[in-house]
Structure 1
Amino acid sequence: MYSPRNVSVSISPSGVIVEGYSVTLNCISDSNPPSLNISWFKGGTFVGSGRIYSISKISSDDSGEYKCKSINKNGEKYSDNVTLNVMYPPRNVSVSISPSGVIVEGDSVTLNCISDSNPPALNFSWFKGGTIVGSGRIYNISKISSDDSGEYKCKSINKHGEKYSDAVTLNVMYPPRNVSVSISPSGVIVEGDSVTLNCISDSNPPALNFSWFKGGTIVGSGRIYNISKISSDDSGEYKCKSINKHGEKYSDNVTLNVMYSPRNVSVSISPSGVIVEGDSVTLNCISDSNPPALNFSWFKGGTIVGSGRIYNISKISSDDSGEYKCKSINKHGEKYSDNVTLNVMYSPRNVSVSISPSGVIVEGDSVTLNCISDSNPPAEISWFKGGTIVGSGRIYSISNISSDDSGEYKCKSINEHGEKDSDTVPLNVMYPPRNVSVSMSGSGVIVEGDSVTLNCISDSNPPALNFSWFKENETSAVGSGQSFSALQSGRFYCQAHNQHGSQRSDAVTVTGEAFINTPCIFTSFISLES
C-alpha cells in the first residue's frame, strides 16, 4: 500500500483551446489503493472534485493554472499546475483620445485602440466614417485641423476574430474663418428700402459674438445687421467680425451702394463775377444722385432753352439776362435746382429825353426833363444846355420857367461800362408880349398932308401878329397892324397880342403946326414920354 504519487493532469483536447470549446481535465494518479478522492483547484481555490473536471463552453474567465489533489488512506499528493490558456477574438475594443480635453486646431492628437483578446491583437485598422485612414494600435494626427473632425473607430484583429470599437468623435475647435457678409435684397438697393446684412462664419464652437463696422467705425452687433429705410448716408463699405473663444476674424468688405434720385441740385456760373455783354458764360448743373444723372434740361423762366450738364452762352447779351434753372434726371427721379440770376452788365443805350408837360410850354410853367436810359448797372446822369452842364440826376426840373431857359437840352448817361448822349431836345418857352414900345419913322417934320408912321415893337413867343393902336383917353382902337400912320397930333400907344396874352406900350406924343395956303414950313415935334 502506498500513498498517491506521480499525480498529473492531462488536458483534452490537447492543443489550442478556444473560447467556447468543451475541455476535460483528467487527474492521473498512482496509488494503492487507488485514490477515490480527487479535488480540483484553480489557483488556490477549490473548483471541483472527481477524477474528471469538465468545462463546457470554456471562456477566457476559465483561463488559469489548474491542479488536482489525489487522496487515499495512505496519503495525498498535488499534481503540478497545468495552464489553461483560452484563446478568444478581440472584445471590449475601445478608443482613447489624448489629450482628453478640448482639441483645438493645430494640436497634436493621439488615438489609442484598446483591445482585449488572446492572443493579443497585432493588427489594427482605423476608420473615419466608413473610410480607412490608418493602421496600428496608435493613430497620430499632428497639427489637427477642422477637416479631421468626425467619428473615428478602430478594428482589432487576431487569428480568432475581429471587432470594431464604438465610434468616438473628434470635435476640433477652431477660431472663425471663411467669414463673409451676405446682403438682402441682393440686387439694386434704392433709398428707402430695408436692407439686411448677415454675417456668415465657420467656427467651432459657433461664434456668438459679432461686431459690424462701416469703414473703421463700429455700427452694430449680432449676426444680423438691419437697416430700415436705408439712405444714401448708409452707402459705404461694411464688414463683420466673428468671435469665439479661440479667436476672431473679419470678413472682407462689402459695398452698400444706395441708389437715389437727384438732390442738392444747383447751378454754378463761370465766370463767377460781373458778367458784361459780349462775355462767354458757362452754366454748370451740379447734382448729387446715384447713379449719376446723365439727363439735364435747362430753363429760362418757364421755357426750356437747352440740355446737357453744361449750358454755354457765347457773346452774352442783355436779352440773356434772367432766371435760369436746371433739371437733373436719373432712373430714380428728377429734381430742379433753385433759380440763379444772370445779370448782364452793359453800357448805356437808347438814351432819350422826355419832357413833361409834353405840349406847349409857357413862361411860368414847371417843366420836368426825364433822362430815359437803358443800362446795367443804372447810369449816372448829367444834363447839358448847349455845351454847358446844368444839372445831374435822372430828373432835371425847372420851376417857373422863363424864356431864358429856352434852348437845346440833352442828357449824358454814364456807368462803369461806358457812356452815351441822348439826342438834343428843344425847350421853346412861350410867353406873352413884353417890352412893347413904339418907334417912329420919318424926319419928324409933318407937313399938311403928310403922316407920321408909328411902329409897334414887341418881344413875345410866338411873335405877336395882332397889334391894336389907341389914342390916349379913347376907348376905341384907331388902328391895327404892327405899323400905324398918325394923321393928327396926340398921344398914341400900341397893344401887342399873341395867344398867351397882350401888353400895351407906353404912349408917344405926336405934335404938329400947320400954315395953310402959305409957303411957311410946318414943324412937328415928337417926344416920347414914359
Structure 2
Amino acid sequence: MAPCLPLVILLMIHSVYGQSDSSLSYSPLHICALNDSTVKMKCTFTYPGYYIMKVFWTKGAVIKGEEIPDLSEDPEYSHRLQYLEDTHWYTTIKLSHVNQKDEDNYYCSFITDQYKWIGDPGMTLTVTDLQVESPERVTEGDSVNLRCKSSCALTDRATFIWYRNSQPLTERRDRNNELLLQSVRREDSGRYSCAVDGHTHISPDVQLNVMYPPVNPVISISPSGVIVEGDSVTLSCISDSNPPAEISWIKGGHILISGRICSFSKISSDDSGEYKCKSINKHGEKYSAVVLNVMYPPKSVSVFISPSGVIVEGDSVTLNCISDSNPPALNFSWFKGGTIVGSGIIYSISKISSDDSGEYKCKSINEHGEKYSAVTLNVMYPPKNVLVSVSGEIVDGDSVTLSCSSDSNPPALNFSWFKENETSAVGSGQSFSALQSGRFYCQARNQHGSQRSDTVTVTVHHGAGRNVIVITAASGGLFIIIIFITILFIIQRKVMNRRSAIHEYENDDPSAGSYTALDLRTRSSDQYNTLTTVHPRPAVHQSGSSEYENVSPHNKSPR
C-alpha cells in the first residue's frame, strides 16, 4: 500500500482545491500486446467536491455490494504490477509478462469519503501470439511472401525481425510484417520465425520447403584405387534433390538395378565400362558417369601367322601375338621346344626352312599374371635327299626291284623312273623292276617341286645258263652294299653247281676212283667252302699209277 499513500495525500489536497467539473479517461482504450510482453495503462481524472481517499486498478466485472479487488493485492499480479506515476490528475501502471489469462477489462477505482466508484468504460487488454504465414511448398525460382501475423493489431509501431534456422537474416527488419523472397533458391529452405524488435517473444518455426530437381549425383567407388578381377566392388550414388530422387543404375543403355547401391561380389573384366547413376524426381532428372576399369591378367592369347595359308620353304613368315589383358601386356617371349627364340609382340623368320617347322609358344605377361598360346608352323618343301635302294633278294632268272625314297612336305606321291640319256620315263611308282643293264635314276615330285636321285648302274651278265646282275651307284655306301649282295649271289651259285657234280660221280662204278664214296653233305661247310665245280678228265694210262695223285683233303684239283 506504500505506493498509494502519496496519492491519498494528493487527493486530499485536490479535494480542497478541486474544480467544479469531474471527468475520467483511459489511454489507450484498447491494448493489443504480445504474449510475455509488458504493457502500460494510464488513467486521467478530475473529481471536484469530494475527498478521494484511495485510487487503485482493478479488472473484470464487479458485483454490486461486493468489495472491489485491488490488483496490487492479488498474488497473480502483485509481482508483475508496478505503479509508475501517481499525481492529482492521473495514474499509470506497468504490467509485465502478460499472457492469455491477462486478457480482460481494466478500470481505475476510487474510494471517497462518500462512496466507492469505478471509472467506466475501462481499458481492454488483448494478448496475442505471433505466427508466420508461409506456403507449404514452393518450387525453385518462385517468388515467396512470408507474413508475420497476430490475432490483433499491435498497439505499438512494431518493427519485425526474421529468423531462418534460429539465425537472424542479416539483421533484416520489415515494418510491414512481410518478408519477400524473390526467385527462391534451394538454399532458402529452412525454419522461419519472426519477432518484434524490442521484445523477447519469437513466433513458432514454420518450415519453408523449396522443391528442386536433382543436382549432379555424386558416385563413389569402394574400394578406391586399382580394381582387380575377382575383387568385391560397391558403387554408391548420392543425389541432392527435393523431394528425394529415385536412383537407378544404367550400363550400355540398359537398367541394371534400382537403388542407391550397385555391388559386385566378384567383379570380372566383363564388368568394365561406363556406369550411369540416374537421379529423378517430378521436377527433373540428372545423370552422373563413372568408368569401372577392371584390371586382369592376360587371357585369350592368340598367335596369328602372316601370310596365312600354306607356308613354303623360303617364304618370309611373321608370328604376331595378341593378348587380352588390362593393363596391356608389354612383355612377350617366344619359345620353341622349351627354348626361348625371341621377344616382343612379333617374331619374324626371313627365309623359313623345313628345320623351322614345329610348335611355337607366345608368353604374355603383365603385373597381374601370365598366359601362353601355341601355334604350329608346318613348312612345306619340295622333295630332297632322293635315294634309290635295292628291295628283296637277287635270284637267278629274277629281276631286281629298285625303291625310291625322299624327304618332302607333303610326302611325294609322284615317282618316275628314267634310264640315263632317255627322255621318256621307263617306269612310275615308288618301286621299279630292272630287267636289263643300264644306268637308272628316279625323280620324286610333290606340288612344290621335284628332285632326282643319283644314277644307279645295273649290269646283267648272260652266260652258263644263268644271268648275273651287278648293281652300282654313284654313292659310295650304296655301291658297297650292291657289291656285297653280288658276291653272295655268285658264291651261292657255285655251291649249288658243286653239289650237282658230286652227285653225278656217286652214280658211277665204286671202283672208278678212290673218292667216289666221299659224301660232302656230311662235312663241315667250312672245310669245303673253297671247292669249285669238278669236271672229269680222261684216265691217264701209265703203269702202276692211279687216276689221281697227291690229292689232299683240302686240294682236290686233278694232276
Q: Which category describes the TM-score, using the shorter chain as reference length?
A: 0.5 to 0.7
After superposition, the C-alpha distances for 1:388-420 in whole angstroms (9 at most, x for unaligned) are 412212222x3xx7xx43322100122333222
- Which residue is equivalent to 1:361? 394
TM-score, L = length of structure 1:
0.67
Distance 1:9 1:190, change over 3 A: same
- The 5-angstrom pairing of residues 402-421 of structure 1 reads 404-421=435-452
Pair 1:270-2:306 in alignment: yes
Determine helix, strand or coil for the equivalent of 1:163.
coil
User: SS at the partner of 2:183?
Assistant: coil
Q: Is the 8 A contact 2:320 2:347 kept in 1?
A: yes
CA 1:222–1:424 in 2, change beyond 3 Å: closer, same or farther?
same
**Structure 1: which 5+ runs fail to align?**
1-5, 73-77, 437-460, 477-498, 505-530
Displacement of 1:52: 9.9
Match of 2:299, as an amino acid? R
Is 1:143 matched up with 2:143?
A: no
Give me the whole-angstrom Cα distance separating, in 1, the residues matched to 2:155 and 2:28: 18
Alignment pair present for 1:28 and 2:61? no
Supply the distance in 1 between the matched residues of 2:105 and 2:437 (Cα, whole angstroms).
Answer: 160
**Which of the numbers 370, 374, 378 marks the counterpart of 2:407?**
374
Residues 367 and 135 of structure 1, relative CA distance in 2, 3 Å threshold: farther
1:48/1:130 Cα in 2 relative to 1: closer, same or farther (>3 Å)? farther
Deviation at 1:317, TM superposition (A): 1.2
Question: Secondary structure of 1:319's partner?
Answer: helix
Over residues 483-504 of structure 1, what are the superposed CA-to-partner deviations in whole Å (9 max), with x where a residue is unaligned? xxxxxxxxxxxxxxxx9x9899
Pairing of 1:114-513 with structure 2 (within 5 A): 114-115=149-150, 118-128=154-164, 129-133=166-170, 134-136=172-174, 137-157=177-197, 161=199, 163-207=201-245, 209-251=246-288, 253-337=289-373, 339-357=374-392, 361-365=394-398, 367-379=400-412, 380-386=414-420, 387=422, 388-396=424-432, 398=433, 404-429=435-460, 433-434=464-465
Deviations 1:329-368 (A, max 9, x none): 111111111x3221222222222211124xx834334633
Count of residues paired in the alignment:
420
Paired residue for 1:103?
Answer: 138
C-alpha offsets along residues 33-74 of structure 1, whole Å, 9 cap, x if unaligned?
Answer: x899xxx9x999767789999765466845689999x9x9xx
Deviations 1:440-497 (A, max 9, x none): xxxxxxxxxxxxxxxxxxxxx97999999x9xx9999xxxxxxxxxxxxxxxxxxxxx
Task: Please give the secondary structure, in 2, of the residue aligned with 1:233.
Answer: helix
Deviation at 1:265, TM superposition (A): 1.1
> Residue 24 of structure 2 aligns to which amino acid in structure 1?
S
Shift of the 91–169 alpha-carbon distance from structure 1 to 2, 3 Å rule, reads same
Q: Does 1:9 align with 2:28?
A: no
Q: How far apart, CA to CA, are the structure 1 residues paired with 2:411 and 2:67?
A: 150
Alignment partners' CA distance in 2, 1:309 and 1:262: 13
1:138-182 CA distances to partner (integer Å, 9 max, x unpaired)? 111122222112222222136xx5533233332323232231211
Contact 2:396–2:466 (Cα < 8 Å) also in 1: no
Q: What is the match of residue 440 of structure 1?
A: none
Classify 1:22/1:282 alpha carbon distance in 2 versus 1 (closer, same or farther; 3 Å): closer
Change over 3 Å in CA distance of 1:393–1:246 after alignment to 2: same
**Deviation of the 1:83 alpha carbon:** 6.5
Q: Which amino acid aligns with 1:385?
A: K
Change (3 A) 1:138 1:351: same
SS in 1 for 2:215: strand
Q: Distance in 2 between matches of 1:416 and 1:409?
A: 24
TM-score by length of 2: 0.64
Distance 1:390 1:285, change over 3 A: same
Tell me the distance in 2 between the aligned counterparts of 1:278 and 1:350: 18
The CA distance in 2 between the partners of 1:214 and 1:279, in whole Å, is: 48
Following superposition, the deviation at residue 191 of structure 1 comes to 1.1
Counterparts in 2 of 1:12 and 1:382: CA distance versus 1, 3 Å? closer
Residue deviations 1:86-109 (CA, integer Å, cap 9, x gap)? 7x9x96223221x2x223323322
Q: Secondary structure at the match of 2:355?
A: helix
- Aligned AA for 2:183? K
Q: In 1, are the aligned partners of 2:29 and 2:122 still within 8 Å (CA)? A: no
Partner of residue 112, structure 1: 147
1:120 Cα offset (Å): 3.2
Distance 2:388 2:28 in 1: 155
Amino acid at match of 1:330: N
Whether the 8 Å contact between 2:218 and 2:238 is mirrored in structure 1 is: yes
CA contact (8 A) 2:216 2:287 kept: no
SS of the equivalent of 1:164 reads coil
Looking at secondary structure, tell me which structure has more strand per residue.
Answer: 1
Tell me how far apart the structure 1 counterparts of residues 159 and 312 of structure 2 sit (CA, whole Å): 105
| Partner Cα distance (2:140, 2:534) in 1 | 134
TM-superposed deviation, 1:211: 1.1
Contact preservation (8 Å) 1:196, 1:227: yes
Q: State the shift of 1:374 in Å.
A: 1.9
Kept in 2, the 8 Å contact 1:284–1:311? The answer is yes
d(CA) in 2 for partners of 1:12, 1:418: 139
Which one-letter code corresponds to 1:126 in the other structure? W
